[in-house]
Amino acid sequence: MRSWTPSASPVAAAISSSRWTTTIRWSTLCSSWYGLTYSAGGLYFIRSNVFEAFAIPTASMVPTLLPGDRFLVNKTTYRRRFVRRGDEVVFRMPAEPGLNWVKRVIALPGDTVEVKGNEVFVNGRPLQREPAPRASLGAAARQVHGELFEEANAGRRYRILFAADSKPLPDYPKARVPDGACFVLGDNRNNSHDSRALGFVALGDVLGDVQYRYWPAVTWSRFGVVTE
């Protein structure tokens, strides 16, 4: 006797195909969702623990950083070493939640610091500085107006500015930097809101040090490592 096997009806085939397609689409959607979740988690980890991007809207750090510069801060630096004089750091101020600041570290715990007549004294000695050529700023020179100097602090050298259109800020009386804190100044010395007004910065509020410009203002020739 010849055996006979009924074939699947067109309706049953369509239902089976639809279920198979739905399964594939759901699997693809789940894979994409997990991929996005892991990617977002990875980005959050990097932002919280390794690098974080910032932008500077003011001229307080000219000539090192210009208004509009976007830069990366390395959050691992101070897990490997202590903050040093001359470091350019980003920190938060508990009195102004939600705001981050970028300044130059001038003095550390136990140091005495004083600002008098545009001269900065650390441990009783003035920080040495000498005129710096404007050509050293490259294409950014046309954005920088005032007297340009190169300052030395604990073996570090960096450029500072006394802006032509700003008045000197009041002197800062001699004081000792307390334990667990540092004294910071902007590189644009007479156009910066810094420790002369804010007071000492807790080292625990320092997020990291400035290392790379990833979106420079004025010219792309300033892209890359932030040089001092």
Active site residues: 60, 103
What per-residue string of b and e applies to 201-225 under the rule 16 or more CB within 10 Å gives b?
bebebbbbbbeebeebbbeeebeee
Select from 225, 86, 224, 104 the least CA-distant residue to 157. Answer: 86
Contact yes or no for 204/176 (Cβ under 8 A): no
**Quick one: tokens of 109?**
């715990």
Residue 122: partners with Cβ closer than 8 Å, 6 or more residues away: 85, 106, 107, 111, 112, 113, 153
**What are 185's strand-pairing partners?**
104
Length of the chain in terms of residues written: 228
Residues 90 and 60: beta-carbon distance below 8 Å: no
What φ, ψ does residue 195 adopt, rounded to 5°? -60, -20
